[in-house]
Each structure stands twice: as structure tokens, then as C-alpha cells.
């Protein structure tokens, strides 16, 4: 069956190539030229839908797009033309466009890109239609589109050939239009607050700002290894030192780790930093920013996500990590003695060594038992210092830092700190983190002495936050896989 389908595809392609050669032999360019005056189909429909009759309009419209359906009737034909904004029926007759143009139209098939102009009218069935008085072939397709009734449904092909997915499934196109709007509204919100958007290096000498396995490359002229950015954090905080008090970057990050419905090795992150702020201010910004985006995008703070309704109306719930663990397990980590933490590792089958620190046990227990229960927007605050090397300690609590993660539908959406600005403490934590790496592991956290030197010049107290844009788009467009909101996701090598 598969072999027969391939054979049919090849035969059809050969037929189309013959059509192209035939057109060329008649000095007709099958791949067209610039097409002047194109109007968006959506604009045409909105303009004429309620004020046109069966009589053709006095004025003309000019549209262009891909042919999605074709119904021939001798010396006339009805067809559906689609552009990025919508679909509209056209009616083409030999006596109106001329016999030469109509002969060219006979070589047209579904999938070709054409342009037409003419008045607009409504058919007897009330369908808005352009009566073509001129026609232009703009691009002859050499391959057949996916079968029209079922579209393109194979998930693997959809991701590998996103262009076909966009042609066949207009709702997919809508997702990426919404993604663009979400990013635009985030920029609007931050720009209105006086934040400055900047760019930091993609290639970095030290992979800092997060705990992740980097991609390594080599620069021949510099004779050194460089790393694709895992986070822009340390560069953005250098700008705080330099006096830029509100700064953000919408950047691409690269982490050489697993692929799943929530992870892609290349992803989009928003990071922002504000001098003289803290993690409480960052919580307020998170609430306000998402609310701003939702009001602009949907005019509603309640989102239907899969089988749940997610209510983003502020204020969002705030729990310390220990409170969250207690609410789910009945265990209060603050009251567990150090010697008993090994028992928790065994009891809950935590995937960490028996000699793990108190903070790492608490964090692992939270990830395994609590994350899955956090459906509505929830800030988990006050993390163990061992898992937060860039955060400032909470006054009076030496083992806890001022950090939060935002969870929605069991998924981490944002991570934020009151930023550590003590250069000596930062150096101590960097060194300790490097020493904790197991033998043979790729070194992920080198000691960035240049960043420490920058801190020695003085960085004002600050709050900072990172937001996963792909995950936010997943939530706001009702998709459960990150591959549905990334145009070209990374995939395994095709067999």
C-alpha cells in the first residue's frame, strides 16, 4: 500500500513537471512575478459580506493565494483561494479573462498559487465570490497537497514538514499568530514599565546562569571552546552593575538535555532584572504581565486548558516549599532531624544519593510529590540554598533563599530570585558548586571570575525572573506538547 502511494505521488509529480515544461514552451513563466495591489482576503470579506448582492460590485478587488479547491464546468470554473487571513471563492470564465488566460488556467491545479482581480458578488446560495476579469499564475506547485478531507494528521510529518502542516491545518497557523501576539504583548508590558530590551551573546566562554549541560563548539580563530547560551542571567546582571536599572531579553537558550512534551533543546526564554527590587516585586510583575497578555489576547483571565479551567486572576496562591510539602505529604521538613532525611530518600524512592544535603532532599521531595498537584497558578517560595546558587539568603534563615518558581498545571512556568549581590558569597557558592560535580561529568558551572569582579564594583539589590515563553504559549493556546508551539522542533533523525 505504501509503495503504491509513493508510485502515485511520483506519477503526479511527473505530470506536473510536464505541465510546467508546456507552460515554459509557450513563454509563460510558471513561477510568476511580483503581484501588485494584493488585498487580504479577510479584509475583502469583512468589507463586502453584509453589503453586496447578486449584482457584481462597481469596484474591483485584487487577491492572491493558494488554490485549495477547484470545480471545473467547461469554459468556467469555481475555486477556493486562501491566503494567510482567510479563504474566498472565485469564479473564472473564459469570455471574461480571455481565451489565452483561460488556457493557462486549464493547467492550474489545487496547490498552485495564483492572483486574480475583479468585482465581487454573491452566488444564488449566498456565497461571497470574486468574478475574475484577470488572472495570473504566480507559482505552479510540483507536488499534491495532503488529501483534502482529512488534511495532514500524521504528527511526525506535521513536525518535520511544518510548511505542509500550515497549508493543511489553518488552526496551526492561528497558534503561531497567537504566539507572536503573546510575545508582542509581553514587550508592550515591559516597555511601558521602562524596561530596556537588550541582546547578550549566544556564544559564551563560560556556560553560566543556570544548571544545565551546554552545547560545545570551537572557534578556530580564537583557538578556544565556546558554549551556546544556557541562560543570559550573568550578562544581564552585569548591565545592572553598569547602571541599566531595568533590563530584559527575549532570548534563545540551548541545553543539551532530554526531549519531551515540555522540553526542547532550543527554547525561548524571557529574562528580566530590576534594580532595587526583590522576589516579591517579581511575583507582582508575573501576575500583572500574564494578566496584561490575557486581556489583550482573549479579554478574559480564565483559560480553558485541556479538561481544566485555569484562573489567572490575581492574586495567585503563595506557599513556601515546606508548606507545600506539608500540605501534600503531612511532613514538615523544618521539623525533620538531619539524621532522618536518609529515611525520606528511601521511603519516597527519591532519585538522589543517600548522602544528599538536607536542601536537596527537600527539593527532590517537592518535585516528586508536590509539583503534580499544582494546577492553578501558584508561587512556591523560599527554596533551599543548596539548589539556588544565585539567590540571596532570606534574613534570619541561613539555609533558605528568596526564590520562587511559578507553577501552572503542574508545570514550572517561571523562576525568580532576589539576586545575590555579595561577590565573596557568590564566589564561595560557585566554587562549592564546581566541587560538587561528580567525576567525569561535563563541567556545567565554571567559576565566572569576570562576573565576580563585576559584582565587586557593586550591583544594586535587585530582583530577577525567567519565564518559559514556549510553556506560556502552550497554556494560553491549549496545547499539551511544546512541539505544537515551536515551528521547527528538534526531532530524532529520520530512519
Q: What cell does 411 get?
A: 508545570
DSSP state of 310: E
Q: What cell does 316 get?
A: 495567585
- Say what the pLDDT of residue 382 is: 97
> Residues 378, 407: contact at Cβ < 8 Å?
yes
Phi, psi angle pair for 383, to nearest 5°: -95, 160
- Say what the pLDDT of residue 442 is: 42
Cell numbers 558548586: residue: 433
Q: How far apart, in whole angstroms, are the C-alpha atoms of residue 387 and residue 73?
A: 71
User: For the chain, how far is it from start to end, CA to CA, in angstroms?
Assistant: 19
What is the value of pTM for the model shown? 0.92
3-state secondary structure of 86: strand
Residue 97's contacts (CB-CB under 8 Å, 6 or more residues apart) are 105, 132, 133, 134, 135
Q: How far apart, in whole angstroms, are the C-alpha atoms of residue 85 and residue 173?
A: 10
DSSP state of 39: P
What torsion do the CA atoms of 370, 302, 488, 8 make, to the nearest 10 degrees?
A: 110
> Residues 487, 264: contact at Cβ < 8 Å?
no
Q: Measuring CA to CA, how many Å separate 474 from each of 180, 280, 299, 304, 409? A: 13, 26, 18, 12, 11
Q: What cell does 179 get?
A: 504566539
Question: In a structure prediction context, what are the per-residue pLDDT tens digits for the chain, which is 495 residues long?
Answer: 567 777 777 888 998 999 899 999 989 999 999 999 999 999 999 999 988 888 888 899 999 999 999 999 999 999 999 999 999 999 999 999 999 999 999 999 999 999 999 999 999 999 999 999 999 999 999 998 887 545 677 888 899 999 999 999 989 999 999 999 999 999 999 999 999 999 999 999 988 888 888 999 999 999 999 999 999 999 999 999 999 999 999 999 999 998 888 999 999 999 999 999 999 999 999 999 999 999 999 999 999 999 999 999 999 999 999 999 999 999 998 888 877 777 788 888 888 887 788 888 899 999 999 999 999 999 999 999 989 988 999 999 999 999 999 999 999 999 999 999 999 999 998 888 777 664 444 444 568 999 999 999 999 999 999 999 999 999 999 999 999 999 999 998 876
Residue 235: in which H helix or E strand, if any?
A: helix 233-241
Burial class (CB in 10 A: 0-12, 13-18, 19+), 439: exposed
Domains, in order of start, for the chain = 2-145 (2.40.50.140), 168-316+376-484 (3.30.930.10)
Amino acid at each position: 500500500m505504501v509503495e503504491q502511494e509513493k508510485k502515485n505521488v511520483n506519477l503526479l509529480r511527473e505530470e506536473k513537471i510536464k505541465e510546467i515544461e508546456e507552460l515554459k514552451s509557450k513563454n509563460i513563466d510558471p513561477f510568476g512575478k511580483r503581484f501588485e495591489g494584493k488585498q487580504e482576503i479577510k479584509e475583502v470579506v469583512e468589507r463586502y459580506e453584509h453589503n453586496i448582492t447578486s449584482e457584481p460590485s462597481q469596484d474591483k478587488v485584487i487577491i492572491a493565494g493558494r488554490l485549495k479547491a477547484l470545480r471545473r464546468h467547461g469554459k468556467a470554473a469555481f475555486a477556493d483561494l486562501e491566503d494567510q487571513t482567510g479563504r474566498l471563492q472565485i469564479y473564472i470564465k473564459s469570455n471574461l479573462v480571455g481565451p489565452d488566460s483561460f488556457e493557462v488556467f486549464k493547467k492550474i491545479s489545487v496547490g498552485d498559487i495564483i492572483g486574480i482581480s475583479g468585482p465581487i458578488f454573491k452566488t444564488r446560495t449566498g456565497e461571497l465570490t470574486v468574478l475574475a476579469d484577470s488572472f495570473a499564475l504566480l507559482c505552479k506547485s510540483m507536488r499534491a497537497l495532503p488529501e483534502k478531507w482529512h488534511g495532514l494528521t500524521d504528527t511526525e510529518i506535521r513536525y518535520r514538514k511544518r510548511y505542509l502542516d500550515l497549508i493543511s491545518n489553518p488552526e496551526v497557523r492561528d497558534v503561531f499568530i497567537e504566539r507572536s501576539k503573546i510575545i508582542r504583548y509581553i514587550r508592550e508590558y515591559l516597555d511601558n514599565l521602562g524596561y530596556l530590551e537588550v541582546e547578550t551573546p549566544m556564544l559564551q566562554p563560560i556556560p553560566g546562569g543556570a544548571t544545565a549541560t551546554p552545547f560545545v563548539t570551537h572557534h578556530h580563530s580564537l583557538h578556544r571552546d565556546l558554549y551556546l547560551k544556557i541562560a543570559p542571567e550573568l550578562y544581564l546582571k552585569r548591565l545592572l552593575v553598569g547602571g541599566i536599572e531595568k533590563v530584559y531579553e527575549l532570548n534563545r537558550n540551548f541545553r543539551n538535555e532530554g526531549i519531551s512534551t515540555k522540553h526542547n533543546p532550543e527554547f525561548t526564554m524571557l529574562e528580566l532584572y530590576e534594580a532595587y527590587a526583590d522576589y516579591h516585586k517579581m511575583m507582582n510583575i508575573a501576575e500583572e504581565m500574564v494578566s496584561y497578555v490575557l486581556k489583550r489576547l482573549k479579554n478574559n483571565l480564565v483559560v480553558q486548558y485541556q479538561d481544566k479551567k485555569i484562573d489567572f486572576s490575581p492574586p495567585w496562591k503563595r506557599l513556601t516549599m515546606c508548606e507545600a510539602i506539608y500540605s501534600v505529604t503531612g511532613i514538615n521538613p523544618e521539623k525533620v532531624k538531619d539524621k532522618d532525611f536518609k529515611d525520606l530518600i528511601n521511603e519516597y524512592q527519591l532519585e538522589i544519593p543517600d548522602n544528599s544535603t538536607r536542601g536537596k532532599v527537600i527539593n527532590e521531595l517537592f518535585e516528586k510529590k508536590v509539583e503534580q498537584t499544582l494546577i492553578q497558578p501558584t508561587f512556591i517560595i523560599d527554596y533551599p540554598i543548596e539548589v539556588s546558587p544565585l539567590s540571596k539568603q532570606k534574613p534570619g534563615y541561613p539555609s533558605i533563599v528568596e526564590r520562587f518558581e511559578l507553577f501552572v498545571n503542574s508545570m514550572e512556568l517561571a523562576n525568580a530570585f532576589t539576586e545575590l549581590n555579595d561577590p565573596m558569597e557568590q564566589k564561595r557558592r560557585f566554587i562549592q558548586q564546581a566541587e560538587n560535580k561528580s567525576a567525569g561529568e561535563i563541567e556545567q558551572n565554571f567559576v565566572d571570575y569576570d562576573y565576580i569582579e563585576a559584582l565587586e564594583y557593586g550591583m544594586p539589590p535587585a530582583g530577577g525572573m525567567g519565564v518559559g515563553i514556549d510553556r506560556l504559549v502552550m497554556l494560553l493556546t491549549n496545547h499539551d506538547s511544546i512541539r505544537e508551539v515551536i515551528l521547527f522542533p528538534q526531532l530524532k533523525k529520520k530512519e
